[in-house]
Amino acid sequence: MSVAISPARSNEEIASLAGAKAALHTWAATVATRDVEAILALYAPDAILVPTLSNEVRDCEDSRREYFRNFLANEGLVCDVQIFKKRVSSKLSTVVVGGLYVFHYREGEQVISVPARFLFTFEQIDSRWLITGHHSSREA
């Protein structure tokens, strides 16, 4: 038995997926600017961050700012999104995006690469797609 998706719902899902995909790529591009305030502006005020290079869960802007001040201080920092999968929750109006990325930065003359897994949740808040949850961990 198949369930038909109404055209309006299908268009809404397509728009949500496109919005979240754009938000993910904006986040990755903003990492490369190393601008702490710009990256913080991409998160909802009550967003939860479980970062790649810290074991502390960050659940307010001040704690996220502390993490990103240290993380974005890495010279030559870029984020290369390699693989991602998406899912729309029609009940919660959220989009979940999970996948793999690699952070590259310089320590002196050496380039350091940190492959990691990620899971973002995005919600459209005041007409903007904001990050409400972000978990990242180094690949084993």
Token pair 């993490």 is found at: 67
Count structural domains, the chain: 1
Strands 128-138 and 43-50: parallel
Q: Would residue 1 count as lying in a domain?
A: no
DSSP 6-74: PHHHHHHHHHHHHHHHHHHHHHHHHHHHT-HHHHHTTEEEEEEEE-TT-SS-B-SHHHHHHHHHHHTTS
Predicted TM-score (pTM) of the model is 0.87
Q: Would residue 67 count as lying in a domain?
A: yes
Work out the percent of the chain whose per-residue pLDDT is above 70: 92
Q: Would residue 120 count as lying in a domain?
A: yes
CATH number at residue 128: 3.10.450.50
Q: What rounded mean pLDDT belongs to the chain?
A: 90
77 vs 87: CA distance, rounded Å: 28
Provide the pLDDT confidence category of residue 60 given band limits of 50, 70 and 90: very high
Q: Would residue 116 count as lying in a domain?
A: yes
Q: Would residue 2 count as lying in a domain?
A: no
- Per residue in 112-137, pLDDT (tens digit) is 999 999 999 999 999 899 999 999 99
Q: Would residue 132 count as lying in a domain?
A: yes
Domain with 30 in it: 7-138
